[in-house]
Amino acid sequence: MSRRITILFAACAGAGLALSGAALGQYSTGFETANGINASPGGTVLTGQDAYYIPPGTVSVDFLAYTYAGNTLGVSQNPRGASQFVTVEGPGGGTFGRAQRDITWPTGVVTVKYDATCLYTGQPPASNNLGSFSAQPYPGSASYIHLFSWVDPNTAANWRAFYLAYDANGIAHPQPGMSPGPAWETLILNNWYGFETDVDFAVNRITRVKITDLATNQSAEFNPTDWYLEGGQAGGRPHPTGFRMFSGGGTIGNVAAFDNMDIAAGGPPPYTCAISGTCPGTVRLSWSGARPSIQQGILFARNTGNFTIQSGPCQGTQLGLGTNQLQLYNMIGTGNGAGSVNAQAGQGACRGFVQLIQVPGCQTSNVAQVP
């Protein structure tokens, strides 16, 4: 990019943030009244509401629907929650809280999302496990468990959120499951986290997991290559027919709370960019589908092509840009994964091409043309 373009195609202060709305999936609920669920500060039985039931053949108590306002368990307000959530305080003694619901799971790649937090209302030592989300029936379908457990039950100071999946031979991972990384390993009590799990039924695997601390908006992702659903690499298990939430433990006081559940086909949204406005003049570069809270590079070229980056952290990444005035123009934050920035584009930038690249990860967006 020429010096003239570098000067005139400059980001302006006060860039606006464009938040993308959440897409509804095969099953989506905020556990609100509008979703057919009544709640109260002391908890209203969830069984019988919105088709939830206690799974037969289990020793279980009902999940309850609570209002955040005045709830008797002291569960904190979810930063992206509305008025209600669901949980139950485990009574101990071999009885656990369970809530199950039948749904028609999509095929192909499915993204499972929910917000969750855990806390302890008793006196240590506590006991495992704290709670879980599972595809059902488990066993008996292409299923897995996202298991919440104590880091140390003797102190009950932090919890973890590991995955009970299978190896390629169909052997179940031992408890407490597989760790995706440090971000899942020492979670804060009564702090809400957003979880995402991509399940690809075509290859019978968990292909992506993500966690977001909803207090700080910091996220981490992991792409496992050998976490299989029940049946392992050979597959062969029936499609799931429902899901289950679990809360409780061997002693009284374990609480695992859930909010904002969405089970949708299609996997995560694509990483895209677009440019609008008038050139020369003010243009807006917008993006969506990025990983939150990392950096992204703005690449500019006068032509499209298939240039491969030769050095640096993204060496070997192929772009959709050619070599004519190809340049890394700037690095900007991804924000919460969607956003926009205004720029003053000079004549030399008009009809040029822009592509974004995330660092770390080196994921590239589509190529957008300056007007």
- pLDDT tens-place string over residues 238-266: 999 999 999 998 889 999 999 999 998 87
Is there a contact between 189 and 119 (Cβ–Cβ < 8 Å)? yes
Domain end position, chosen among 212, 242, 265:
265
281 in the same domain as 261: no
Domain end position, chosen among 225, 242, 265:
265
Look at residues 65, 99, 100, 68 and name the one whose alpha carbon lies nearest to residue 192.
Answer: 68
Total residue length of the chain = 371
Helix (H) or strand (E) holding 5: helix 3-8
- pLDDT tens-place string over residues 6-65: 322 333 222 222 222 233 347 999 999 999 999 999 999 999 999 999 999 999 999 999
User: What span, in angstroms and rounded, lies between the C-alpha atoms of 198 and 264?
Assistant: 10
102 in the same domain as 40: yes
341 in the same domain as 290: yes
Give Cβ neighbours of residue 314 (< 8 Å, ≥ 6 apart): 357, 359, 362
Is there a contact between 165 and 262 (Cβ–Cβ < 8 Å)? no
Whole-model pTM over 0.75: no
- pLDDT tens-place string over residues 74-91: 999 999 999 999 999 989
User: What span, in angstroms and rounded, lies between the C-alpha atoms of 120 and 73?
Assistant: 9
Strand order in the sheet with 10-11: 10-11, 339-345, 281-288, 272-277
Look at residues 61, 28, 41, 82 and name the one whose alpha carbon lies nearest to residue 247.
Answer: 61
347: helix, strand or coil:
helix
237 in the same domain as 276: no
- pLDDT tens-place string over residues 320-334: 999 999 998 889 998
Neighbours of 357 (CB within 10 A): 22
User: What span, in angstroms and rounded, lies between the C-alpha atoms of 53 and 61?
Assistant: 10
Report the CATH number at residue 212.
2.60.120
User: What span, in angstroms and rounded, lies between the C-alpha atoms of 253 and 120?
Assistant: 5
Domain end position, chosen among 249, 265, 281:
265
Strand-strand pairing, 242-247 and 10-11: unpaired
Report the CATH number at residue 278.
2.60.40
User: What span, in angstroms and rounded, lies between the C-alpha atoms of 320 and 310?
Assistant: 15
318-339-334 Cα angle (round to 5): 55
- Residue 145 structural domain: 27-265
235 in the same domain as 90: yes
